Amino acid sequence: MFSRDDKTATTPVAPTATDTSATTRAQEHRGPTAVRTSSEPSLISAALKVTGQLESAEDIQIEGQVEGDIRARKVSIGTKAIVKGTIYGDDIDVAGTVNGKIEGKSVVLAKTAHVSGDILHEVLQVDKGAFLDGNCRPHHSERASQAYPVKTVDKPVAVAAKTA
């Protein structure tokens, strides 16, 4: 059918705009690029179980299981997530289960939260229905105490009692 002596030469056809090269197809199959913007949290999916410490300068969202401490700017614990360890962060939102201490500037326990452990906080919000077995203690950073100095009273303050 084909022979080298065939006089009809085939000229290569230039790819059109709708054609894709092998390189382009390979790039398409790789999926999303590894470049993230700072607005996207690092995600521990529901299918993942992590043992060890997690640390990030940005945000972490936990949907799976973590056995170990978590430290990030913002930590979000999903409704089906389970964390066994201490959570440190500026903003901590808990909708799942935490067995361990929570230390954060702003801590929010959603109605589906189940926390067994102490909470050290500057601001604490507990939604109706949240479970908490532990102590809550306000913890103010040095920066916050300098911005809002505590006024001391030199004299005891008397409270007048109303007599009937």
pTM: 0.64
pLDDT, mean of residues 28-33: 47
For residue 104, the number of C-alpha atoms closer than 13 Å in the C-beta half-sphere is: 26
Q: Which residues of 17-56 are buried (b: 16+ CB within 10 A; e: fewer)?
A: eeeeeeeeeeeeeeeeeeeeeeeebeebeeeeeeeeebee
Q: What pLDDT, in 10s, does the model give residues 122-145? A: 999 999 999 999 999 998 765 443
pLDDT, mean of residues 54-76: 96
CA-nearest of 78, 99, 96 to 87 is 99
Q: Please check the confidence at residue 158 and state whether its pLDDT lies above 70.
A: no
